[in-house]
Chain A
Amino acid sequence: MAKKEVDDRFKKFGTVSFTAITKTNDFISYLEEGKVMGTRCKECGAVYFPPRSDCVKCLHSNMQWFEVTGTGTLLSFSELKYGPVGFEDDLPYTIALLDYGDYKVFGRISQEIPYEDLNVGMELKTEFNTLPNGQLNYVFTRP
């Protein structure tokens, strides 16, 4: 009998991934195509980022993927000079939250933007990124 294949695609997400088997592993396949995707409920239209596979508003599980496009407003950010175990090689890095109106995106600011140039309220876009260790994530860059 053939060994059952395990879908562990999510192990590729972030500098250190803490989970491999999730209901939203297609997110990683889209990311490999350069697309950052959220989900939208086909029943009630609720929009989710991070993506969910089940709708908490209408309790259906009929979701479709949509791409995060355009710009979001920078709500807040912090540059880390000290990091958790496993993230030392990335230091310093800046975590941040963008507001897209219908949803928000948490992630990192691109290393190309100096910290001094960041301001709450500025517009940034979300972009696929490959980390130096080969892992995948997304970063916020200038539009």
Chain B
Amino acid sequence: MQKIQIKDINASIIASAPEYDKQRSPAGVIAEYLGLIPQPTFYIESVCSSSSMALRVAYSMIKSELHDIIAIVGFQKMSEISSSESQERMGRGADIQWESPFGTMMPAYYAMYAQAHMAKYGTTGEDLAKIRVKAATYGQINEKAVYRKPITMEMFTDPESNMSATVAKPLRVGDCCANADGSSCIIVANEEKARAICDKPVWILGLGAASEAVNMAGRDLLTGLSVGIEAGKQAYEMAGVTPKDIDVAEVHDCFTIAEMMAYENLGFAKPGEGKDLIASKETYKEGSIPVNVDGGLLSKGHPIGATGGSQIRTIVLQLRGEAGEMQVKDPEIGLIHNIGGVGLYGNVTILGR
């Protein structure tokens, strides 16, 4: 990256979700700190998918030829507030008039999806635990992960283990990712600049984005996320590929059930058959569709605005063959599935080398 200077970056997009720290309009502060002034800078927010949404905006700014090199900086600083305070913020990511007054929070909403998935397809807590065990397999070898200890299936049934403690039935501590401080940066450039400044550029092949009703009362599907299905469809179509063509994927596993639904919503498994995909270990590094082989959000932690950028980084490293111990064998096409809120916003990005 020595072929690029700060002054070559002619715009920056800052991605995060508000109210976890006190800084209002963080774009200006971050741009100044990084020396990215007087170039334009601004803020993009779609909660947990903010940095993927910023990639979509950067893509259009470059395609329009308004800019040729853009930095996307995703960040979240969550450590200054307590866990229950952050749940209050997340609860207010739902409709504050009609739902938050009932005491909602992210794990409880996803637990409702888990409950509906279990009722319709017979999915079990054991099926979900398998996803966390996979995540921990890779979290242990990812030096950027927050949670790096091994996790076993037995821990989910052991009352002495924290992993088995209920957060919101049927989800347990082991089914949930952790809050974290974090940041990510993606440099996006047009083809000419990308070839000039980078030895192994990775290309954007497909971009999909969708939204859904904020209120649960406005939703028809409770066993999957409609935004994942819709954004995936758009991205596959734009890239001209099918789920079978994906060699490695990063999906939004804020909770184990979220990864399970992503398998099904992205077409890696049929609806209800996500449990068979994880049971046969097809989403492990050696399987037919490796998913979250960096440990996922479940291991890395979920610094909201930074998460999409972190997922993109993993796929870029994979496509460049630079993922070290986590490297999948010779991938050509990778997919990033990044969800905002409880399936409120969805972004799917397909990258190729």
Contacts and interface: CB of A to CB of B under 8 A. Distances in A.
Contacts of A50: 95, 97-98, 215, 217
Interface in A61-88: 75-88
Contacts of B112: 76-78, 95-97
A108 B102 contact: yes
Contacts of A111: none
A83 B115 contact: no
B115 A14 contact: no
Contacts, number: 126
A121 B119 contact: yes
A38 B268 CA distance: 40
Interface in A42-66: 49-50
Interface stretch (B143-151, B161-169, B189-197, B325-333): B161-169
A137 to B, nearest CB: 7
Contacts of A13: 97, 101
Nearest to B113: A76
Nearest to B104: A95
A15 to B, nearest CB: 6
Contact of A19 (B97, B107, B170, B216): B97
Interface in B94-109: 95-105, 107-109
B96 to A, nearest CB: 4
A13 B116 CA distance: 27
Report the contact-size class of chain B (Cβ under 8 Å from the partner): 35 or more
Contacts of B115: 76-78, 120
A76 B222 contact: yes
A124 interface: no
A15 B101 contact: yes
B103 A93 contact: yes
- Interface centre among A22, A24, A85, A108, by most chain B C-beta atoms within 10 angstroms, is A85
Contacts of B91: 84
Nearest to A135: B101
Given A82-B84, A86-B88, A18 B105 contact: no
A120 B114 CA distance: 12
B87 A18 contact: no
Contacts of B82: 85
B92 interface: yes
A84 B97 contact: no
B169 A18 contact: no
A22 B97 contact: yes
Contacts of A106: 98-99, 102, 215-217
A101 to B, nearest CB: 12
B111 interface: yes
B101 A79 contact: no
A95 B166 contact: no
- Interface centre among B82, B87, B90, B113, by most chain A C-beta atoms within 10 angstroms, is B87
A14 B100 contact: yes
B103 A18 contact: no
A99 to B, nearest CB: 9
A108 to B, nearest CB: 5
A106 B219 CA distance: 11
B90 to A, nearest CB: 8
- Interface centre among B103, B108, B114, by most chain A C-beta atoms within 10 angstroms, is B103
Contacts of B99: 106
Nearest to A79: B169
Contacts of B109: 78
Contacts of B276: none
B268 to A, nearest CB: 24
A18 B97 contact: yes
A80 B108 contact: yes
B119 A87 contact: no
B80 interface: no
Contact of A15 (B103, B116, B167): B103
Interface of B: 82, 84-85, 87-88, 90-92, 95-105, 107-109, 111-116, 119-120, 165-171, 215-219, 222
25 contacts: A13-B97, A13-B101, A14-B100, A14-B101, A15-B102, A18-B96, A18-B97, A50-B95, A78-B109, A78-B111, A78-B114, A78-B168, A79-B166, A79-B169, A81-B169, A82-B105, A82-B168, A84-B88, A84-B91, A95-B108, A104-B218, A105-B217, A106-B98, A120-B116, A137-B101
Q: Which 3 A-B pairs have the closest CB atoms?
A: A14-B101, A78-B111, A87-B103
